[in-house]
Amino acid sequence: MLNKLFKKKQFKIQSFTYYIPSPPERKNGYREKQFDKVFYNFINQGFEILSMTTQTNTSTSHSGMWIVCIVRALNIKADQLNLDYCTENQSNQNIEFDSSDRLEI
């Protein structure tokens, strides 16, 4: 009983993945603003990042990088979000590579 009183409520843990296609070759670095926007909105809905890894994808026709995050909801509202629904909506938007979304440094 005391354990229930003092134990912090644990919310669900799930993955968040995002694919960034490789940009055209450049002399200067760039910032991936589209990822920044998506990730900022996602994290500010109440998630804690438990781990983050990247995996490159290289081929002769298409290359890029997967970003895989394991996250935990920090509140009941975030716990109830369906990340599969968010992903399906994003894929329906046909987000294309647009070099104007990169900020050269």
pLDDT tens digit sequence for 55-102:
999 888 889 999 999 999 999 888 887 766 554 444 434 333 344 444
For residue 32, the model assigns a pLDDT of 86
Taking the C-alpha atoms of residue 69 and residue 72, their distance in angstroms, rounded to an integer, is 10
Burial (0-12, 13-18, 19+ Cβ within 10 Å), 47: buried
Taking the C-alpha atoms of residue 17 and residue 52, their distance in angstroms, rounded to an integer, is 10
Full-model pTM: 0.63
All domains in the chain, ordered by first residue: 11-97 (3.30.70)
Backbone φ/ψ region at 82: left (φ over 0), alpha (ψ -120 to 50), beta: beta
Residue predicted with more confidence, 33 or 94 = 33
Taking the C-alpha atoms of residue 6 and residue 18, their distance in angstroms, rounded to an integer, is 36
